[in-house]
Structure 1
């Protein structure tokens, strides 16, 4: 599911008029503003050793002396819900057109053979036309964009680390920001220290972040790497594996299991349990019984997940990125604002202040003054 990445990209392009209407978003922006001191601390922490047991839980697609490629994206374990709804709508639309075609053919054949109009077939064709055509128009105009978050698109979001060029590449569909080339220098990580952990590392993947001074696109780039974690220790191990690969090389790192891009069924069902195995293991007997009772729901979502994988295609990198780091091959240029169409550039410029890093240090929080109303002394009896 590419819902998170799609939402982040849409938030970067939202017009100012629409943004001002949402007062809640405005307040949230003020709270999450970043200062230069925050960036310096985050980058410094990203250069330190975070774990003594580096390990990638994957899925890893490529691992050699030059590149490390891992699955990326948030909410992979929830992929399948949109696919089930979309497949149902598409199935009904296809059957509608089949019914229209069949009704028209039967009406025509009956007229030529009997010399009369078969009103039953005719009304069936007219009724299905009235239902199917508006439904198809509504789906293509308003719903197809959501279907493409799971179907008819790249099978996975990918992140590729190239230790020779010291670059990081994000593979995303164009409606989620497209393929981006970022510098390794400037990255901050949710696994570098506990203070940067997201949700305590429970149920979320490793998060990597690049601020606007390093992205060249006037917006912050965030990548979610690998599987959802059960605790912060798994996040630290994943990050340390990546950090050592980029800074020190693959020597001494445990070789990860390489995953195929082919959509095997277990690649759709196992993600349903990412980030929750620790919870299952320590759950009470009552909760375990409840989980057994709702297990058909996991089966349904897993089936939708597999359907989405089957109806997607293997992501393919541009030639310059595939050859990056090879002897005599050019180094891919970093992504800049000029790589986007003019109307996208204009929107990113207009919203650049939302992601800008403020100069100086973050001001210290002032202690809250708690005012207590003194109760009136009781009157003497």
Structure 2
């Protein structure tokens, strides 16, 4: 689920801030390569429309909470990883029970007395299964934590009163950060084609020192966050950023509350909807019903994914902002 965030945190460990800055300065635009036409800061309007993109968890006069693009991309690791861990644990438990029964009775299954080799193997098998489980956990648990036994979601809060962007993330994905809204850089091309916006999402970045952690220590490296669910085209993507920008710059009147906020409760049917991955608005166009047929044909795989998605949510905790952030600006 958190492949984007994990990948960015991993990349920060490959080189220092100075090395990354030097590498960035060395890069030159290749001949024929289109120049990225990013907005001139958070004050520049990029669209005549504003669209909430169905990505808001909370909305009030002080702040809005927005999801990240990874929410649907979870469950596969959980279902297969959990199955493997479960099978190894079951084999270990079974070997341990059989060994314990044999030790207590002192006899084999045919009634003969246990020999020295019997005691050796009855001791060895549970230890071997335990070692196998340990090896799997050592080399695969980091991937399992990308979607289970971690925060259920990453939340990006935009507070228009404090003019801060709050990043609610687990520690292994960068931790909580308080970033300056006015220093936000938007990685967005204003002149992108409609096709280029398909599946896109907003990427926000900050330079070193443009934010702090909970202890007030200035950030010592780049910070990046990914905002909103994937869009269908460039118009939606630009209108979504315009919605956020207007809320922060012009106030709630310029970016009205959405008709429906996202729920944080892990309802199982929402996991099925996420695994199905088919926009129900397609049903209005008969030419696109072929995608419905395809999804019906692969329904067993969808159900397995949905089960893993739901289990992943149940195995995670719901993150909450610290009180100092909850009360900020009120």
TM bracket (short chain): 0.7 to 0.9
| Residue 303 (structure 2) aligns with | 299
**1:129-208 correspondence runs (5 A):** 129-130=127-128, 132-190=129-187, 193-195=190-192, 200-208=196-204
Q: Quick check: 1:103–1:121 contact (8 Å CA) kept in 2?
A: no
Answer yes or no: is 1:94 the counterpart of 2:96: no
Give the TM-score of the pair, scaled to structure 1: 0.70
Shift of residue 244 of structure 1?
Answer: 1.3
Shift of residue 324 of structure 1?
Answer: 0.9
Shift of residue 104 of structure 1?
Answer: 2.3
Q: Quick check: 2:5–2:173 contact (8 Å CA) kept in 1?
A: yes
Give the TM-score of the pair, scaled to structure 2: 0.80
Answer yes or no: is 1:308 the counterpart of 2:304: no
Shift of residue 120 of structure 1?
Answer: 8.0
Q: Quick check: 1:55–1:237 contact (8 Å CA) kept in 2?
A: yes
Q: Quick check: 1:99–1:125 contact (8 Å CA) kept in 2?
A: no
**1:1-381 correspondence runs (5 A):** 1-14=1-14, 30=27, 42=38, 44=40, 46-72=42-68, 74-111=69-106, 116-117=113-114, 123=121, 126-130=124-128, 132-190=129-187, 193-195=190-192, 200-212=196-208, 214-215=210-211, 216-256=218-258, 257-272=260-275, 289-326=293-330
1:280-323: per-residue Cα shift (whole Å, max 9, x none)?
86866766544432233222222211110000000021221111
Shift of residue 128 of structure 1?
Answer: 4.4
1:63-95: per-residue Cα shift (whole Å, max 9, x none)?
1111111112x4332211111122112212321
Q: 1:82 to 1:295 in 2, by over 3 A?
A: same
Q: Quick check: 2:39–2:188 contact (8 Å CA) kept in 1?
A: no
Q: 1:10 to 1:279 in 2, by over 3 A?
A: farther
Shift of residue 202 of structure 1?
Answer: 1.0
- For the pair shown, the structure with the greater C-alpha radius of gyration is 1
Shift of residue 45 of structure 1?
Answer: 5.4
1:23-79: per-residue Cα shift (whole Å, max 9, x none)?
xxx89x83689xxxx99x74525322333332213342221111111112x433221
1:329-355: per-residue Cα shift (whole Å, max 9, x none)?
xxxxxxxxxxxxxxxxxxxxxxxxxxx
Structure 1 vs Structure 2 CA RMSD: 3.5
Q: Quick check: 2:185–2:206 contact (8 Å CA) kept in 1?
A: yes
Shift of residue 178 of structure 1?
Answer: 0.9
1:9-32: per-residue Cα shift (whole Å, max 9, x none)?
01101268xx9xxxxxx89x8368
Q: Distance in 2 between matches of 1:301 and 1:32?
A: 41
Q: Distance in 2 between matches of 1:112 and 1:129?
A: 21
Q: Distance in 2 between matches of 1:246 and 1:76?
A: 24
Shift of residue 109 of structure 1?
Answer: 3.0
Structure 1 residue runs without a partner (length 5+): 20-25, 327-381
Q: Distance in 2 between matches of 1:87 and 1:53?
A: 45
Give the length in aligned residue pairs.
Answer: 310
Structure 2 residue runs without a partner (length 5+): 212-217
Q: Distance in 1 between matches of 2:265 and 2:307?
A: 16
Q: Quick check: 2:246–2:254 contact (8 Å CA) kept in 1?
A: no
